[in-house]
Structure 1
Amino acid sequence: MSAARAGGIDLILTKSISRFARNTVILLETVRELKDLGVEVRFEREQISSLTGDGELMLSILASFAQEEAWSTSANVKWGIRKNFERGITNQMCVYGYTWTGSEFLINEVQAEAVRFIYKRFLEGAIYADIIRECEAAGYEAYWGGMFTTAALKMILRQERYTGNTLLGKSFNPYPGHHGMKNTGQAPMYFAEGTNPQIIDQETFDAAQTALAKRTAANAHPRSPRTVFSGHIWCGPCQVRANRAVARWQGKKMPLWQCPLRGRGKPAVCMGGSVPEPRLEEITCLIASKPEFTTGLFEQTVVKVVIWSPTKVRFHLRGGKVFEVEFTKGRYAKPLTAEDLMEVKP
């Protein structure tokens, strides 16, 4: 599409409608845009040109049939896969630690040794980075070669096939053309026993799942609670919603709002800076001429707050007015007064 918009294409040849787009809406939108750009689309199987008078009508009719055919084919394929699952037949042949012969899984002794080593070190309390380094030092490689990653280690530690059994249907495709999603109850799952040789005993696998759950819970970052400011604070330079964070100031926790890029350790990318939450409350009281901040006061007065620099914000009010406020930060920060409020054009 980029090449067409740049004028580099005047004709597109495609095998059939079903190969051009996933559904009727996308097909027609794309063909219409190309037509406006003077680009012709020819569909070989259907013998249709998008520039002819009845081309779009025929496209919409045939595309509907093609879309329905795709759904029907998808349903048949899913039915076949589920019937195989019921018989314990898998559709995943690439599993670290095994070699697929075309009819059965055989243990890959080198990779199986790596799997046992990873489980052993994990249950001994080793962190992922240490396990990766130790695997590299021992000459163990990932499935496609090279070093393991943390994600690869977690997949190995969660792979129930090492016990000789298989949980089938852990992912599913909701509709044709969609990537697989984790199955959390939307589709049936099947547990098949004795599907392949065992590498890890059930007791070791269960212990690893318990340790994984504990480690995940210990490393989880608690979500910041929603406040009256949630969804209303924006980073001006980046044009994204700001996130709430907590910093320490003079031995006390200080909630503040900042650009997500700064929260990910990229302050040089964003020029918006961060604003302490008490400062937002102070400015709200000044604008509303109220001595005390309340959540209702903010909701009734302010639509959004835009952070333009570490010391400058703009308050967009419900009446349409916009006030810009510059302030000082740090140890020598001064209280604000009504004179610090400067009305600007929206």
Structure 2
Amino acid sequence: MKKVRIIPPIPKEYKKLKVAGYCRVSTSGPAQLRSLEIQIKTYKKMIRSHPDWIYAGVFYDVESGLRRNGRTDLNKMLRKAAKGEIDYIITKSISRVSRDTLEILQIIRFLRERGINMHFETEDLDSINVDKEFEITLRGMLAQDESRNTSENIQWGFQRKFEKGDIFTQYKNFMGYTCVDGDIVIVPEQAEVVRKIFDLYLQGLSLGQIKAYLQSQGIKTVTGKDVWDRKTIQKILKNEKYKGDTMLQKTFTEDFMTGKKVKNIGQRGRYYIKDSHPAIVSAEVFDKVQEEMAKRASIVRNEDGTVEASGIKYNGKYLLGNLLVCGYCGTSYRRRTERGKVVWRCSTRIEIGKGACPNSPTLDEEWVKDILRKTYSNGICEEDLREKISKIKVYTKHITVFYKNDGETVDFEIWY
């Protein structure tokens, strides 16, 4: 006959719980920050006054509840919990931890696997209980849907403002402008820097050359930095606000869950407000800069017929830098040095291969310059040539020069 001896479980050793609190507010407004301060003080007092608890800290974030990214204290708390430094967490509600249903589910399961309970005060729920998971998930879904409704209402409000022509007047770090009593006003010394940037670009300087000039003159950025960024200069040159106009809804939030903003290139309506505020540069100067930027843009035509930027940088010191255009695929020509000789070749052919644009010829730089100089019997400098010629189309056996003033075109046979 079998004998069975029952071995009783070892009773758990009594120990105090290491308890932490978690708080979160969405914005840094005065009312929200006061609420956060009260929550922190309340949890500190509650934990420290409990005889069976050990204070493990109060963690807090000022961030949206939809995204884990940016909530440094939540992540810090969970790391401490994983190391065994926290046994129990108190928080006001499910929505304070997260408004993302999937994320709240992942968090409570992460804690449960380690035997850690999170208590939600408003709902009076404990995450350690498996049978409460469905209720926690359901309440998380309601919090997420509430965020969606809030986002849609905010977007609707913006649309109504755009339709009425109401512009945003709380800009920070906006070179040339500041906001005073709800109005955009010019900052004179910064405006001079903006005008100089526009002027240098029209003189033929590249973004890199403008950057070098500003730094050599000790001119600081709007944030007080000594080093300028090419992208910052480019944004200034492309910003319609400098001619006194405003384009509304240049970007929009594609997904309220991720908060990701995307460029509006026609997916939604845009609103253009003329003379919305004082201009720093004239409309004529601004438009000339846009035309010049379009000329300098180097594009490559793909095999499927689409075009895209090739990434080549314009250099204002070359006469042909923004003049030569392939007559077959429409892309700009690029300067190269081969076996000690300077030549120009179709960008599509360089980027994709000869098969993408088989008829485009390679041009000798000196031959093109010589042809252009001979056009004017009295001689002319390269800077003046750029002012007189709008573009040069290149074909297999000839080039066509387009002149700005009278719209005349002249063909020259490629003979070298």
Runs of 4+ residues deviating >4 angstroms: none
1:37 to 101, 114, 121: 114
What does residue 129 of structure 1 align with? 208
| Structure 2 letter corresponding to 1:40 | N
Matches of residues 11-22 of structure 1 in structure 2 within 5 Å?
11-22=88-99
Aligned length: 227
| CA–CA separation in structure 2 for the residues paired with 1:104 and 1:191 | 18
User: Do the aligned partners of residues 34 and 107 (structure 1) sit closer, same or farther apart at CA in structure 2, a change above 3 Å counting?
Assistant: same
Counterparts of 1:93 and 1:159, CA distance in 2: 14
Q: Aligned equivalents of 2:89 and 2:194: distance in 1?
A: 50
Query: By how many angstroms is 1:22 displaced?
Result: 4.2
1:165 corresponds to? 245
Matches of 1:31 and 1:44, distance apart in 2: 15
Partners of 2:298 and 2:311 within 8 A in 1:
no
Give the Cα–Cα distance (whole angstroms) in 2 for the partners of residues 33 and 107 of structure 1.
54
Match of 1:199 in 2: 280
Bigger mean CA offset, 121-130 vs 46-55: 46-55
CA displacement, residues 167-210 of structure 1 (integer Å, 9 cap, x when unaligned): 00000002224132111222221111221110111121112122
Relative distance call for 1:16 and 1:197 in structure 2 (3 A) is: farther
Matches within 5 A, 1:142-161: 142-146=221-225, 147-161=227-241
Conservation of the 8 A alpha-carbon contact between 2:249 and 2:271 = yes
CA distance, structure 2, for counterparts of residue 100 and residue 205 of structure 1: 22
Distance 1:194 1:60, change over 3 A: same
| Consecutive unaligned residues in structure 2, runs of 5 or more | 1-77, 301-308, 313-338, 340-416
Match of 2:143 among 47, 66, 79: 66
Once the two structures are TM-superposed, the CA of residue 37 in structure 1 deviates from its matched residue by: 2.4
- 1:40-55 equivalences in 2 (<5 Å): 40-55=117-132
Local SS of the residue matching 1:46 = coil
Work out whether residues 99 and 108 of structure 1, in 8 Å CA contact, stay in contact via their aligned partners in 2: yes
Structure 1 unaligned regions, length at least 5: 224-249, 251-346
Q: What SS is found at the alignment partner of 2:220? A: coil
SS at match of 2:254: coil
Amino acid aligned to 1:87: K
In structure 1, what is the Cα distance between the partners aligned to 2:219 and 2:92? 46
* Higher mean C-alpha displacement, 179-188 vs 57-66: 179-188
3-state DSSP of counterpart to 2:141:
helix
Deviations along 1:265-290, one digit per CA (max 9) or x if unpaired, are: xxxxxxxxxxxxxxxxxxxxxxxxxx
Alpha carbons 2:99, 2:140 under 8 Å: kept: no
Distance in 2, matches of 1:12 and 1:155, equals 47
Give the direction of change, closer, same or farther, for the CA distance of 1:14–1:118 in structure 2 (3 Å limit): farther
Instruction: Report the counterpart of residue 266 of structure 1 in structure 2.
Output: none
Structure 1 residues 29-67: Cα deviation after superposition (integer angstroms, max 9, x where no partner):
222122212232233433322113443122111111111
CA contact (8 A) 1:74 1:175 kept: no
* Compared CA separation, residues 86 and 6, structure 1 to 2 (3 A): same
1:100 matched to 2:189:
no
Q: Matches of 1:110 and 1:10 in 2, distance apart?
A: 59
Cα distance change on mapping 1:193 and 1:11 into 2, 3 Å = farther
1:120 equivalent in structure 2: 199
SS of residue in 1 equivalent to 2:247: strand
Select which of 291, 300, 310 maps to 1:221.
Answer: 310
- What corresponds to 1:80 in structure 2? 157
Offset, 1:218: 6.0
Q: In 2, Cα distance between the equivalents of 1:14 and 1:130?
A: 55
Give CA-to-partner distance per residue, 1:306-343, whole Å, 9 cap, x none: xxxxxxxxxxxxxxxxxxxxxxxxxxxxxxxxxxxxxx
CA spacing shift, 1:2–1:215, aligned 2, 3 Å: farther
Bigger radius of gyration? 2
Structure 1 contact 111–140 (Cα < 8 Å) conserved: no
Verify the 8 A CA contact 2:177 2:184 in the aligned structure 1: yes
Q: Which residue of 2 aligns with 1:322?
A: none
Take 1:12 and 1:184, find their aligned partners in 2: how far apart are those partners?
46
User: How far 1:19 moved relative to its partner?
Assistant: 3.4
For residues 89 and 281 of structure 2, the distance between their equivalents in structure 1, rounded to whole angstroms, comes to: 54
Q: Aligned partner of 1:164: which letter?
A: G
* TM-superposed deviation, 1:152: 0.7
What RMSD in Å do the two structures reach over aligned CA positions? 2.8
Q: Is the Cα contact below 8 Å between 2:99 and 2:143 reproduced in 1?
A: no
